[in-house]
Structure 1
Amino acid sequence: MRSVTLLGSTGSIGTQAVDVVGRNPDRFRVDALTAGGTDLPLLARQAADLGVRAVAVADHAAGPALTALLREAGAAGVEVLTGPDAATELAGRGSDVVLNGITGSVGLRPTLAALEAGSTLALANKESLVVGGELVKKAVRHAGQIVPVDSEHSAIAQALRSGAPAEVRRLVVTASGGPFRGRSRDELRDVTPAQALRHPNFAMGRVVTTNSATLVNKGLEVIEAHLLFDLPFDAIDVVVHPQQMIHSMVEFVDGSTLAQAGPPRMLVPIALGLSWPDRLPDVDVGIDWTQAATWEFVPLDDDAFPAVRLARQVGEAGGTHPAVYNAANEVCVDAFHDGAIGFLDIVDTVAAVVEEHAAAGGGDAGSVEGVLAADAWARTRAAEVLARR
């Protein structure tokens, strides 16, 4: 039986992970849960149902309310931690598996804590790897292991089990294309926040859904693939696959390509993140091959969606450039949903901030403090650039 800590247990990834462990009580014991604090009743119910030892919320003021809810749910003895460092504290307590389902660069310290404690890190928080770069890879080399939970990287990890590293020619990361697939740049000028949140296949949070619409999410995934699988950026392709039945592919040196296929849901990647390298039975239903279906593959339009091209440049530059890319984007997404900027302004502003960072010579990527300083600079600078628009 594996002990598990779930970071972000009330979010999309976290609630599905709770479902997986709940259906496999002989395989997993959940030690701890963390959440931002926006849904305390759900967190309390999860803690009571799973019999956890500790819970944490990022909102320090939420502590008394959570304690009361835990008491009502019959879990009065559960330890309650609060504040911005609470998730890091629980992540570093040495569970066999730590699933990081937090959104954004705030997941970096918990990621490092889990790896430094020797836990297997089931990573859905791609931002922590993108932002942390070599810091995270160093922690992996010294102590821990990362199992990717993003469906694309889980698919690649599964396909890579069929060949040696030297036999890999390239990775092909699939993208849904988001709600604006097929539109030209001019046709994207007047899209609204509500339209950007209408993802064709997945129900996700505001930031991730918007990133899927701009394809910033796919840019982050390209950087993530480079860091996870040690392939150069020119060996990582992106192809638009609207149905999202094939989650990604690996091309080998002999010309063969292995694709991992399944319904456009996250249950299998989450389950594999918890149980790797073993597979759990009946996690999801398979594809119904008795029904006729057509799967499309379309080249990415870099002119309409320049976020992936920019991410490649940022990834090649390395250092703190990926942290700046991610942080500036988060500020721009908020501004877009506040009605302060247009859809195209998101990536255009990110590009301007990244260019300024590069001109200044970048920042210190050798420490968490240096990376987070670059993150903070990018947020401030993005806000200043947006204020002039």
Structure 2
Amino acid sequence: MSEPLRVVVLGSTGSIGTQTLDVVRWRGWRVVGLAAGQNRARLAEQVRTFRPEVVYAAAGTPELPPGVRTAASAAEVAAWDADIVVAAIPGLAGLEPVRAAVRAGRRVALANKESMVAAGPLLQAEARRYGARFVPVDSEHSALFQALAGERPEDVAELILTASGGPFRKGPEDLSGVTPEAALRHPRWSMGPKVTIDSATLMNKGLEVLEAHALFGVGLDRIKVVVHPQSYVHSLVRFVDGQLKAVLGPTDMRLAIQYALTYPERAPTPLAAEPLPPRLDFEPPDLERFPALELAYRAGAQGGLAPTVLNAANEVAVAAFLSGRLGFTGIARVVETVLGKTPPDPLTWENLYAADAWARAEAEEQL
């Protein structure tokens, strides 16, 4: 790339945000905007290092150097003059900043799957209207994006998302007593607490199924999930002739992040090449032990506001589990109960926010 990219990072102090800034250092690009949540100390360090033009912090903006502007919201940072916006604010809190970036016509490197789950059709319509484009950051969707490049939609038979299986793939059989500490010990990936718990329940893979449906326009019946404990195959595409294309690589999110930022080009990295693993295993997910995955398919098939309700109820249930208010198996039970009461209203921006608020309140009632 001839000119350094102007990059905005939303969620800059989280796992994806900090790894994005690693990639920015590799490439020598310009960070023009940062938005963060509660980690003011880390944000202050990032501001000193990258000297952005604008900063927002939900917990209160730290002392800024001269010339750095304080934004009133993460959405204001998202709409800043930039070549690409990395959307890594977790949960539905990231939706409005994503929407602001889309309305500004930006290229959005999307790491906030919940936005696409809850508002996929609405965001895609606005992207077409404002000339914005989504490039996925999640390793699974990045792999699908790469495997689909240059292929005709009518030649795609199915998308196959891989799942590590999480920390409880091999046990215990009874998951009702597992602790947050155990659930946060992911065997392959280093992620934030919410997505790590979602990985342990397989809800994360369910959200990824819904995101893939919204991103790539492939029917839910043609999006499959396989458990692949080595996490070396990030996703696969099966074509109508029976052949498969897959993206394989180390479990380092910076590879997918860099691809989203440099697309359609590729760039070298300072990471050492890793040897191929001695074996690659694949197995079907256990939907009896991990019912959250089936709930996501159910929400997608119902459509309308159901994915929004699924996501909201899950966010409340995961927070309750992490705080000790709910058992591990209670997460799926709460989500299933709230999902079964989903309002029949059509998906609109107004209805989406109303359904999100209703589902959170209903989930709290279930607790």
Q: TM-score, with normalisation over the residues of structure 2?
A: 0.96
| Whole-angstrom distance in 1 between the partners of 2:153 and 2:333 | 37
Secondary structure (helix, strand or coil) at the match of 2:340 reads: helix
| Whole-angstrom distance in 1 between the partners of 2:261 and 2:249 | 18
Offset from partner CA, 1:58-99 (integer Å, 9 cap, x none): 23xx23xx02xx3xxxx23211124xxx11011112411000
Superposition deviation, residue 288 in structure 1: 1.3
Residues 268 and 283 of structure 1 are in contact (CA less than 8 Å); yes or no, is this contact kept in structure 2? no
Unpaired stretches in structure 2, ≥5 consecutive residues = none
Counterpart amino acid of residue 40 in structure 1: R
Unpaired stretches in structure 1, ≥5 consecutive residues = none
Which one of the candidate residues 296, 300, 313 is aligned to 1:328? 313
| Whole-angstrom distance in 2 between the partners of 1:94 and 1:315 | 35
The alignment yields a C-alpha RMSD, in angstroms, of 1.4
Residue equivalent to 1:76: 66
Superposition deviation, residue 260 in structure 1: 0.2
Superposition deviation, residue 161 in structure 1: 1.3
Percent identity between matched residues is 46
Residues 1:174 and 2:162 aligned together: yes
Superposition deviation, residue 139 in structure 1: 1.4
Superposition deviation, residue 364 in structure 1: 4.3
Residue equivalent to 2:295: 310
Secondary structure (helix, strand or coil) at the match of 2:313 reads: helix
Residues 120 and 215 of structure 2 are in contact (CA less than 8 Å); yes or no, is this contact kept in structure 1? no
Residue equivalent to 2:8: 5
- How do 1:1-389 and structure 2 match up within 5 A? 1=3, 2-25=5-28, 28-36=29-37, 38-59=38-59, 62-63=60-61, 66-67=62-63, 70=64, 75-82=65-72, 86-142=73-129, 143-183=131-171, 186-282=173-269, 284-289=271-276, 293-357=278-342, 360-361=343-344, 363-367=345-349, 369-386=350-367
Q: 1:140 to 1:286 in 2, by over 3 A?
A: farther
| Whole-angstrom distance in 2 between the partners of 1:226 and 1:247 | 17
* Stretch moving more, 313-322 or 115-124: 313-322
Superposition deviation, residue 356 in structure 1: 1.1
Counterpart amino acid of residue 95 in structure 2: L
Counterpart amino acid of residue 32 in structure 1: G
Offset from partner CA, 1:115-143 (integer Å, 9 cap, x none): 11111000000001111121111112222
| Whole-angstrom distance in 2 between the partners of 1:174 and 1:351 | 24
| Whole-angstrom distance in 2 between the partners of 1:100 and 1:334 | 21
| Whole-angstrom distance in 1 between the partners of 2:270 and 2:153 | 29
Q: How many residues align?
A: 363
Counterpart amino acid of residue 108 in structure 2: L
Secondary structure (helix, strand or coil) at the match of 2:144 reads: helix
Superposition deviation, residue 223 in structure 1: 0.1
Superposition deviation, residue 283 in structure 1: 5.3
Q: TM-score, with normalisation over the residues of structure 1?
A: 0.90
Q: 1:88 to 1:283 in 2, by over 3 A?
A: farther
